Amino acid sequence: MSISETKEAFDPEYLRQKYEEERVKRLRADGNEQYQEMRGDFSHFIDDPYVENPINRAPLEDEVNVAIIGGGIGGLFAGARLREAGVEDIRVIEKASDFGGTWYWNRYPGAACDIEAYTYLPLLEELDYMPPRKYADAQEILSHCQNVAKKYRLYDNACMQTEVEKLVWDEASRRWTIYTNRDDKIKARFVLMVNGPLNRPKLPGIKGISKFKGHTFHTSRWDYNYTGGNSRGGLTGLKDKRVGIIGTGATAIQCVSYLGESAKQLYVFQRTPSGVDFRNDHPTDSEWAAGLKPGWQKQRQKDFTAVISGRGGRRGEIEQLDQFDDAWVEMGKIYRRRMRELGSDVQPGDAGRIYEFANFEKMENVRNRVEDIVENKEVAEALKPYYAFMCKRPCLDDRYLPTFNRDNVQLVDTDGQGVEAITETGVIVDGVEYEVDCLIFATGFEVGTDYTRRAGYDLIGVDGISLEEKWSKGMISYFGIHSHGFPNCLLIGNGQAAFTANYPDALDEGALHTAHLIKHFLDNNISRVDATEDAEMAWTAAVVGTKAVTMMGGSTCTPGYYNLEGQHDPRSRYNQPYGGMVGANKYFEKLAEFRDGGKFPGLELS
């Protein structure tokens, strides 16, 4: 049977057209500019509601060998791998009052990770910890992060509740000076920037947003004093409240069911539905856990990244798919089944079509799931995502869809246009005002904006050049780690580096690599390390040369933060990961090759 003869339960032509209609109706000329930065009148939205012991300390003027900026999962890996390498003089600088990064801030009800805990949680073997269930929730992850910090003594010498404002390179002393909001002037031989990609929450620039007189907050600063309860539910403070939530991304999908079961009335304002897949959480199989061999977690992470990116992996065997049984890998399994069914009839050039049909089938499953669960047909239709898998972040949740069968919950679908206006008392959609006592913004984080804006600080390098200026037309780097003119500063992130849905895998690879380099530099009295211009131009060219189709949320997708809100910003080619969506394991190999060779070509050392 050839590919054109397969019998399908869907009409591919209809789906192609429908996807395109849904995309086009959401495009807007203002792209990323539609969002409102949390500054000025809106700065209270980012105040930290979780601080228990506000720190009051004198400014520091001292020196460390390595300053790590950021105490999230990346900063924890960086600290742990440096300690393992024998680097002792470390300081983590973090704006929150504890470690955890995204898991420090995101404590909204239902917050949990939807990548399996065996793969996602950092350093399980090192901490001798086996998660009790397949998926870990925010409380478990935050406490695990704190345990990592304790084990590797990262609380020692750390500066918590401290925000970096500027980094300045001094050529004479070959040191960075780190200026903070506490008037610190900390000198460092090496700086590791691990700020995280989603650390600055954003608000929509909806007309009238500052007029609202009721209670309001962003999901990453959940106000439990108002709602009662905690991230595991029990929001008793909402029992007599009308609540509105704007946004239906991965965050809203997790917290809506908790709001629905506690609020007197809940309005969910939707612009684009998320694809909500099965979660099927279950306790950890103790027999399986007992049989694991040392090194299992790293191997599992590599296998997961390989199957997610659809490329190669261990001995190139696709069988590694079978050890995972979640919605992330279902797409790969459908593709494999279709290939098998076609057998020897697969022709050269069929792969694209087989992938497209596998993707249609996968998303039909997601849409059928909505129909099976949501009783009201009109509501069910509005909740169906019409775009390809991975255009938006897939969500794994078994509680969200049934919430729309509750009498006190109403979906307010905006047909892709978004909320029209906000008044003193409520939210307007299509000319109708929905009055609310509490308005929650589940509107996400800055992603496509400039690196320095997201980091919250700029770097002033050799001859006074600023990183903001240098990267104003897009990122220029060597391995996504070094940038010429900014010596002794190393970056662990995903721009020009690795993308994998299991982000900790990429963070750990970056941490292992940079710890190895820094240890070598310190042991060999190398006081200045900079990438050559040639090396970074060649690396950047390789990144830019990757076809846009392999980027997350390509140009045929509905707008969102995966594709810079559907705008054709040439900077996105520069800022994308190495190899686009499928280059992670290749990138890791390149890092290993570079450091194991011991010669570090492309770096100038003195």
Pick the closer one to ligand NDP by CB: 158 or 409: 409
Q: Which H or E run includes 77? A: helix 73-85
Is residue 178 within 8 A of residue 93, CB to CB? The reply is: yes
Report, in Å, the least distance between residue 367 CB and ligand NDP.
Answer: 17
Pick the closer one to ligand NDP by CB: 188 or 442: 442
Neighbours of 341 (CB within 10 A): 12
Amino acid at position 338, single letter: R
Report, in Å, the least distance between residue 590 CB and ligand NDP.
Answer: 25
Report, in Å, the least distance between residue 234 CB and ligand NDP.
Answer: 20
Q: How far is the C-alpha of 517 from the C-alpha of 125, rounded, in Å?
A: 24
Give the contacts of 585 (CB within 8 A, at least 6 positions apart): 302, 305, 306, 309, 311, 312, 313
Pick the closer one to ligand NDP by CB: 60 or 422: 422
Pick the closer one to ligand NDP by CB: 419 or 515: 419
Report, in Å, the least distance between residue 270 CB and ligand NDP.
Answer: 7
Pick the closer one to ligand NDP by CB: 251 or 477: 251
Is residue 529 within 8 A of residue 487, CB to CB? The reply is: yes
Pick the closer one to ligand NDP by CB: 354 or 501: 501
Pick the closer one to ligand NDP by CB: 367 or 393: 393
Q: Which residue has the tokens 């990592």?
A: 148
Query: Reduced to 3 states, what is the DSSP secondary structure of residue 223?
Result: coil
Q: How far is the C-alpha of 574 from the C-alpha of 351, rounded, in Å?
A: 28
Q: How far is the C-alpha of 237 from the C-alpha of 228, rounded, in Å?
A: 5
What's the CA angle centered on 452, arms 565 and 217, to 5 degrees? 60
Angle between helices 296-309 and 584-597 (to 10 degrees): 130
Pick the closer one to ligand NDP by CB: 389 or 539: 389
Q: Which H or E run includes 104? A: helix 102-105
Report, in Å, the least distance between residue 194 CB and ligand NDP.
Answer: 17
Report, in Å, the least distance between residue 129 CB and ligand NDP.
Answer: 19
Alpha helices for 524-557 (secondary structure H): 533-544
Alpha helices for 248-291 (secondary structure H): 250-262, 286-290
Q: Which residue has the tokens 């000329």?
A: 29
**DSSP-assigned beta bridge partners for residue 66:** 90, 190
Pick the closer one to ligand NDP by CB: 455 or 564: 564
Neighbours of 512 (CB within 10 A): 21
Report, in Å, the least distance between residue 464 CB and ligand NDP.
Answer: 36
Report, in Å, the least distance between residue 246 CB and ligand NDP.
Answer: 5
What is the contact surface with ligand NDP in residues (CB under 6 A)?
A: 113-115, 198, 204, 206, 246-252, 254, 269, 271-272, 393, 418-419, 442-445, 560-561
Report, in Å, the least distance between residue 357 CB and ligand NDP.
Answer: 25
Q: Are strands 242-246 and 215-218 parallel, antiparallel or unpaired?
A: unpaired
Is residue 202 within 8 A of residue 36, CB to CB? The reply is: yes
Pick the closer one to ligand NDP by CB: 386 or 561: 561
Q: How far is the C-alpha of 395 from the C-alpha of 397, rounded, in Å?
A: 6
What single-letter DSSP state applies at residue 345?
G
Report, in Å, the least distance between residue 561 CB and ligand NDP.
Answer: 5
Amino acid at position 381, single letter: E
Report, in Å, the least distance between residue 329 CB and ligand NDP.
Answer: 16
First-to-final CA distance of the chain: 64
Q: How far is the C-alpha of 140 from the C-alpha of 155, rounded, in Å?
A: 19
Report, in Å, the least distance between residue 115 CB and ligand NDP.
Answer: 6
Is residue 459 within 8 A of residue 469, CB to CB? The reply is: no
Pick the closer one to ligand NDP by CB: 117 or 455: 117
Pick the closer one to ligand NDP by CB: 69 or 252: 252
